[in-house]
A = this chain, B = another copy of it.
Amino acid sequence: MEDSAHPKRAVTVADVAKAAKVSKATAARVLGGYGVVSAKITDRVMAAAAALEYRPNELARSMSTGRSGIIGVVVGDIENAFFSLAVRGISDAARLAGFNVIIANSGEELDAEKSAVDLLIGKRVDGLIVTPARCDSFDHLQHVRRAGVPLVLFDRAIPELDVDAVTGDDRDAAIAATRYLIGQGHRRLAYVSAMDAEGGGLANIGRISNSAVRERVEGFVSVLTEAGLPNPLHYVRLGATNQQQTDSVIKRLLSDSAAPTALLASDSLVGLRIFKSLQSLGLSIPKDVSMISFLDADWTNVTVPPITIVDQRVYEMGKLAGERLIARIERTPLAVERLRVSTNLVVRGSVATIGR
């Protein structure tokens, strides 16, 4: 066994060239698949390469060509089904175009996001897809553009940044869900999100630093206002970041003198937590409380009752973002756009019809 002893310097084009008794340039032409080489020499080089088990050093290749063939993706949390589905969409689009994907987690934290972006730029990715943790802090993204690296935002838009964004149609989705609830006779509706409630509570919708959440809340509030329901902001609750927090959010909400009869969950993780909260409070869905969750997650259709959801078509979103980025990388002339993927309300059994 002569393995770890000899770290065995990797086989290079020069080695192959020597073995095939040709110049380095010629061997490189054959192995790199460019330029013109005679059939005879091609065979000889290929044979030598096979014998030596040559594997090209993509690093070196990237350095001279300036292209890495990698696209970088910065997501909030891969463990979240929303992102893992999106990543699959992105990966599929990437693979189709011959690109590979490198994924970094930001944990929805700005600092982690910044260093992830820096790192990926350092690795000379050909393009970047970022889910910005906050839409009000984007110096680092500005820098990406100045560095000449194509960028596509995912799930959240930053209008101040002159760059493509692929998002869901969050406002419309919230409007549709809220209208549906009102149509079923609900009059007191709450929106629950996992966003950090910085500065305690919700003074100003415009302040919400995540555009997806902001737009959903705007849609939600606009429908309530339009329907003449009082004090819609009162029913928007942030901070459902974990089970315990969610339990307390829900408990507080439901012990209100005018407790909501229906809850709208901002994402499937919050939805699951709400479901568990209600379960542990011994409340039945939809008899005691109705709910709608965003994202068609696994768990939502094996519960009793199955959960009515807003299908965000995340795979398509991811795929679209990937395709858009690749078009940018390949310098396809396109106007900067915000691409909205429309959503679908999937009615299942978690909303009761009340009143008459």
Contacts and interface: CB of A to CB of B under 8 A. Distances in A.
Given A10-B147, A147-B10, A148-B3, A58 B122 contact: yes
A53 interface: yes
Nearest to A275: B302
Contact of A302 (B68, B100, B101, B299): B299
A58 B68 CA distance: 11
Interface stretch (A81-89, A170-178, A196-204): A81-89
Interface in A298-316: 298-299, 301-304
Interface stretch (A17-25, A33-41, A102-110): A102-110
Contacts of A279: 302
A62 B147 CA distance: 20
B55 A59 contact: no
**Copies of this chain, whole number:** 2
Interface string A173-213: 00000000000000000000000000000000000000000
B78 A84 contact: yes
B55 A123 contact: no
B78 A100 contact: no
Contacts of A85: 79
A72 B301 CA distance: 35
Contacts of A6: 148
Interface string A8-31: 101000000000000000000000
Contacts of A338: none
